[in-house]
Structure 1
Amino acid sequence: MLAEPRQPQDPSGRGPHPGAPGRGAFHQDHRHLRGRRGGAGELQVSARMLGGEGGRMPGGRESPVGEGELFRLGKFLASTLSLENRLDRVLDQAMELLEAERGSIMLLEEDTRELVVKAARGLDGGRGFRVPLGQGISGWVAENGEPLILQDAVADPRFRGTDPSVKSALAVPLRAGERIIGVLNVSNCTRARRFDRRDLEHLLSFADMAAVAIENARLYRELKREQEKFGKELQLASRIQRSIVSTHVPCASVRLVSRLMPASAVGGDFFSIIPLARDSRFCFYCSTDMQDRCQKLRTEFCPQKFGLMIGDVANKGLPAALIMSVLTTVLYELGRHHISPRTILDEANSAFRRFFSESQYGFATLFYAFYDNNDNTLTYVRAGHEPPLLWRKEDGRIEVLEGEGFPVGLMDEGGYQERTVKLKKGDRVLFYTDGLTGSLNARGEVLGRRKLVELLRESDGEDIESFLDALVDEIMLFAGDASQPDDIAVMVLELEELYDLTMTVGTDIRQIRYVIDSVLETLHGFRGLSDPLVLRLCLEELLHNAMEHGNRCDRTKKVYITVKAEPDRAVIRVRDEGEGFDHRGFASGDPTPAEVLSERGRGLMIVRHYADELRFNREGNEVTLVFAARRRDGRR
């Protein structure tokens, strides 16, 4: 598409003006157009430019587009994010105003140095058609950065090969600052006239609008790419933050559930369980003859003690999350050395002051504790954090775990006091951050601690997972449509009744001894076991079957073990992730000779002999083992 300078006419209208420049050159009246820069945001179109006085075009003809239409065009361009729709609208309006038969908007691709049609009307080559820079009328305009008025494009020697149907044409560059980003051109007026200088002015104005639309679309694409990149980085940061959090409790008699709800993708609230190293100076369990048990577990950590922390870094978002990651790392490493909670917080406070002395987020509230399963004690330090709530199962009483101490990093001396509370079976402790009690509803009301006390009292007989779900639902119901102003972290710890155990281990033969020792520890003292060796033998057979025959030694698959001791029996379940097997013969008590002679069959026959009951699920990938409790006289 097409355009070139016109020759000025003699006032009489009988031909070119004497002394007029040659074909294809600019008249002196057009020189100001050479330097025109249609920069983004520099759109100024007056009523006169649109059509002269009274909305009329040069020569007395009515302007088909007025100020109102141009205003609506600008409003449309601002309201849509689609570059295609924007360019189509600009081209349609330009062609309507100039009464053109054909038109196109072409954008320059920097890498290929080609003009690509992005909007077109009345052309054989539509959207996607390409023209090398410097070729044809549009290529010339893009390369030279100058507008053209062409009265007879075919006759111009610079543009040989131009479509002979092209008569009068206009072409103007699209600019973004000093850069040429494309070309807007129209050709062939629908009326019996040729394009003139005023038409060129109009087209330059539309070129300004197109350039603004293109530049805005480019900025939007860049912004969207940056947002997507930042979103992916936040997702990664969120995954990293959650990976720092550990909720694995080594003690079989302690159950813990938790929720972390940051106000944004990442936050400054955190909690974690910290494994404590075996050390005879501190751990009664490891300082007795049971120390051999720790060696059998093949772990450097004590299975009867663990650390627990929950905290809240000042402010929220990415800075708080980064500080949280540093703090949790420091606390984790200090906890591994098995020193007291007070000593750990003194050390953490000093480290925090060194690391973040210049930071406006340089402090964090924290509750840090050691739990000892030998005597069911929780020894803790409270560093300006929300006090946990202890619910006593025995009488439904609520105790507030108070304590003194400044937030970590706030003062050189934290003034921490260590306290100890003894837990009983069935007791629950609710740990939380101030985002929970500070939850707001649409009326600006605060949830408060009283509601937590009420929900805790109502949780008697309810599973702690169900209780935590109900607590989160209550927060959502209370807040309604109000936005969450702060991060929320919450944990519920329960000292379970004896003889309950849930474990998940990988397909690793070396884990079998650890599982058997944990089950024996859980069922220690249960009246259903006359000889622990019997249970060890049965479990060894079931676990080997699950890993070798069920999961087929696939290390990506898991084995699930649950133990539940009831007043009259102990129930042990072992489930793998394999496809199962045909167990109908064993389930009926009448296996075939081939089943008995198989490796799995021989083991199951031994288990059936010692257990009071042996069951399978339908798929055959879960085995249930039942031992009945003995009476005082030894009978079942």
Structure 2
Amino acid sequence: MEQVQTPPVEGAERLAALEERALDLENLLEVKDQEIADLAQIAAVITSVLDLESVLAITMETSLRHTAGEVGAVLLAEDSELRVKIAWGVDADALEKLRYADGRSLVRYCFETRETLVDGHNQQIESAAYSIHSLIAAPILAQSRALGVIVIFNKENDGEFDARDRRTLEMIGNFAAVAIENSRLLRESMDKQKMEQELDLARQVQTTLLPESFGVRGLQVASTYIPAGHVGGDYYDIIPLTDRRVLFLLGDVTNKGVPAALVMTAAYSIVHGYIGSRREIDVQDLMVSLNEILCRHIIKNRDMFITLFAAFVDLDAGTMEYCNGGHPPAFFHRAATGERLRLRDGGPPLGQFAGQAYRSTVVPLAGGDRVFCYSDGLIEAENNRGELYGLSRLEDFFAAGASLAADAFNQAVKEDVARFAIDSGRETRDDFTTLVFDVQAEIPGGERYQFVYPSRLDVMETMYQDLEKVFDRCRIGPETARPFQLALSEAFTNAIVHAHAQDPGKLVEVLIVVNDDSISADITDEGDSWEDAGARTFDPAGDPAAESGRGLGLIQRLTDEVRYTRSPRGGTTVSMIKKLR
């Protein structure tokens, strides 16, 4: 069979063509490699920046450089509008003149359709300073969501944008989308952190305005304050005017959060400014004055007001003068007869109508009587069926708990509300505050002083000052006062550090009784009670600083008698007695 021979010239030409094709492919590969390297560099640069303005500036510069465009702009979506965020050499007027075939703005069309447009206008558009002869517009996409548009005008040397420019600009848009989202997330996180810091500061300020300690001979007082958020609109105060006269206040600012807390703070300042150095209070005049200032200078929003229950207790006179400004009725229990009253008299909420009249009512007080007031967050607590705790249920509970001590009753109310709402699946919608005080029967030969402190070590100085006042009033000499103070401070510190773990939401109650021949103190915490309370004995030789002994050996060496019991609130009461020499 005869073979066909390829002429030498044709073989050489084919080889040369193959070599040329291989060289073209090699050059193309180099170009692609360079494109990939450029895109990797673009991605690294753009996505490493977290400041939005810097991200946009880098996006603009990178887009112009890699597409060889002359001028351009970046637009981002804000409130359903495309807004020019950065523009180099082009103005909004030029962008507005660019229209698509359906009449929409060209950049709006690119944004809504998520399509890249190359020379999409097909017409010469004159701007004030230059003409537009070519353009490319690409959406900035985060997954399937459009964040904005990059638009580039006029290829250098009167050239036209091509498929390579299209791919490049789309990739830059994708990188920019990641950086923009990161920038926004960072800003939101920083804004949230700043807000939380401001709210925490507001909470700290508000907490300092709540009563830290109070001492009124002849009253047993307990209170609870639970804000719905970082800060709340409930306001309560206990202001001793003398050791036998005290002003109680419990109010609620409509709404909650910072605005309510600011109005509450203003009310606190007005009340304390009104009281000054007064030793007696006209409750009716106090309410009128507070209302006038709130209406004329503080509250400008008609949807905001304050409900307030105010009661001035004078134990020497055996009376309570109260005024209720639109607040849920306080409950009064008269021990001698078992009678219960709803304390409603007063007037409307404060901060709505200037010139409003208020009237007060005087109620006689005797040993064993109780007054209980609360904010509406208590009676508006919901269960899992959407039912409210309600006024009737609270009144029934008030009647059933008449035999409990003030602190035990207050704790029982909290627990009953918690049981009622435990399966509701709802967060607390409103602030929750309670205040209860019992009038104690007079104890012949005994002076009683009650103080309540939050579990913070920085209130030690306040406790020392209160104790010094008792010593001065009762003329307790240093030979007794110094060891008694040291023992009491040891028990006080143990309650804060060990029983409460310095939780400022828990309270330490100190009750001091001075008799003719002794001074005693009961320090009651709200921590876990000791399982063997009443049976455990103290080791006088123990290490006073030991964690396990909680310094009780030191307390025993400094006093004449020490014992401890479970308190009605579930915590521990350490009792100590020091004989007067």
TM over 0.5: yes
The offset of 1:415, in angstroms, is: 2.4
Which residue does the alignment assign to 1:249?
A: 214
Code of the aligned partner of 2:436: V
* Secondary structure, aligned partner of 2:190: helix
Distance 1:388 1:398, change over 3 A: same
Which residue does the alignment assign to 1:204?
A: 169
Which residue does the alignment assign to 1:330?
A: 270
Which residue does the alignment assign to 1:69?
A: none
The offset of 1:341, in angstroms, is: 0.6
CA distance in 1, matches of 2:467, 2:185: 58
The offset of 1:252, in angstroms, is: 2.7
Which residue does the alignment assign to 2:157?
A: none
The offset of 1:329, in angstroms, is: 0.9
Give the alignment's TM-score, normalised by structure 2.
Answer: 0.57
Distance 1:408 1:544, change over 3 A: closer
Does the Cα contact within 8 Å between 2:370 and 2:437 map onto a contact in 1? yes
CA distance in 1, matches of 2:221, 2:407: 9
The offset of 1:271, in angstroms, is: 0.7
Code of the aligned partner of 1:542: P
Which residue does the alignment assign to 2:571?
A: none
Which residue does the alignment assign to 1:146?
A: 65
CA distance in 1, matches of 2:342, 2:399: 13
* Secondary structure, aligned partner of 2:346: coil
The offset of 1:266, in angstroms, is: 1.7
* Aligned counterparts, 1:277-426, within 5 A: 302-336=242-276, 337=278, 338-356=280-298, 358-394=300-336, 396-426=338-368
Does the Cα contact within 8 Å between 1:252 and 1:502 map onto a contact in 2? yes
Distance 1:313 1:208, change over 3 A: same
Equivalent of 2:426, from 471, 479, 482?
482
* Aligned counterparts, 1:544-555, within 5 A: none
The offset of 1:226, in angstroms, is: 0.7
Which residue does the alignment assign to 2:117?
A: none
Does the Cα contact within 8 Å between 1:432 and 1:488 map onto a contact in 2? yes
Could you say what the CA RMSD is over the residues aligned between the two structures, in angstroms? 5.0
CA distance in 1, matches of 2:271, 2:293: 10
Taking every aligned residue pair, what percent have the same amino acid on both sides? Answer: 21
The offset of 1:141, in angstroms, is: 10
Does the Cα contact within 8 Å between 2:74 and 2:86 map onto a contact in 1? no
CA distance in 2, matches of 1:141, 1:516: 76
Distance 1:239 1:561, change over 3 A: closer
Which residue does the alignment assign to 2:191?
A: 226
Which residue does the alignment assign to 2:233?
A: 268
Does the Cα contact within 8 Å between 1:251 and 1:373 map onto a contact in 2? no
* Secondary structure, aligned partner of 1:381: strand
The offset of 1:509, in angstroms, is: 8.6
1:572 partnered with 2:527: no
CA distance in 2, matches of 1:238, 1:210: 41
Give the count of matched residue pairs.
402
The offset of 1:211, in angstroms, is: 1.2
Does the Cα contact within 8 Å between 2:216 and 2:240 map onto a contact in 1? no
CA distance in 2, matches of 1:231, 1:511: 35
* Aligned counterparts, 1:54-73, within 5 A: none
Distance 1:144 1:227, change over 3 A: closer
The offset of 1:548, in angstroms, is: 12
* Secondary structure, aligned partner of 1:145: helix
The offset of 1:199, in angstroms, is: 5.4
The offset of 1:212, in angstroms, is: 1.3
Distance 1:547 1:321, change over 3 A: closer
Distance 1:374 1:222, change over 3 A: same
Which residue does the alignment assign to 2:469?
A: 514
The offset of 1:261, in angstroms, is: 2.4
* Secondary structure, aligned partner of 1:303: coil
The offset of 1:270, in angstroms, is: 0.6
Code of the aligned partner of 1:224: S
CA distance in 1, matches of 2:40, 2:228: 46
* Secondary structure, aligned partner of 1:309: strand
Code of the aligned partner of 2:310: Y
Deviation string, structure 1 residues 67-115 (Cα, Å, up to 9, x no partner): xxxxxxxxxxxxxxxxxxxxxxxxxxxx9xx99987864469xxxxxx6
Code of the aligned partner of 1:207: I
Equivalent of 1:213, from 170, 178, 182?
178
Distance 1:210 1:473, change over 3 A: farther
Deviation string, structure 1 residues 136-185 (Cα, Å, up to 9, x no partner): xxx99956832269xxxxxxxxxxxxxxxxxxxxxxx99975489xxxxx
CA distance in 2, matches of 1:508, 1:443: 46
Give the alignment's TM-score, normalised by structure 1.
Answer: 0.53
Distance 1:440 1:330, change over 3 A: same
Equivalent of 2:435, from 485, 491, 496?
491
Equivalent of 2:373, from 426, 431, 443?
431
Deviation string, structure 1 residues 584-622 (Cα, Å, up to 9, x no partner): 59xxxxxxxxxxxxxxx9xx99x99xxxx55599xxxx9
Distance 1:448 1:140, change over 3 A: closer
Does the Cα contact within 8 Å between 1:502 and 1:562 map onto a contact in 2? yes
The offset of 1:478, in angstroms, is: 2.6
1:625 partnered with 2:577: yes
The offset of 1:464, in angstroms, is: 2.9
CA distance in 2, matches of 1:265, 1:561: 28
Distance 1:330 1:562, change over 3 A: closer
* Secondary structure, aligned partner of 1:327: helix
Deviation string, structure 1 residues 477-521 (Cα, Å, up to 9, x no partner): 333212333222221112235455445864999876522355x5x
Code of the aligned partner of 1:475: V
Distance 1:550 1:494, change over 3 A: closer
* Secondary structure, aligned partner of 2:367: coil
CA distance in 2, matches of 1:107, 1:257: 66
CA distance in 2, matches of 1:100, 1:411: 73
The offset of 1:353, in angstroms, is: 1.9
Does the Cα contact within 8 Å between 2:218 and 2:244 map onto a contact in 1? no
Code of the aligned partner of 1:458: A
The offset of 1:321, in angstroms, is: 1.4
1:447 partnered with 2:382: no
The offset of 1:221, in angstroms, is: 0.5
Distance 1:240 1:477, change over 3 A: same
Does the Cα contact within 8 Å between 2:347 and 2:357 map onto a contact in 1? yes
CA distance in 1, matches of 2:374, 2:463: 37
Deviation string, structure 1 residues 178-232 (Cα, Å, up to 9, x no partner): 489xxxxxxxxxxxxxxx9645533432332221121011011001101110111
Q: Structure 1 unaligned runs (5+)?
A: 1-11, 17-23, 25-94, 109-114, 120-126, 128-138, 150-172, 181-195, 277-301, 521-532, 552-558, 576-580, 586-600, 629-636
Code of the aligned partner of 2:382: L
The offset of 1:245, in angstroms, is: 1.7
Q: Structure 2 unaligned runs (5+)?
A: 1-16, 22-26, 50-57, 77-84, 89-160, 454-459, 493-507, 524-537, 543-553, 565-573
Code of the aligned partner of 1:572: S
The offset of 1:380, in angstroms, is: 0.9
Which residue does the alignment assign to 2:481?
A: 540
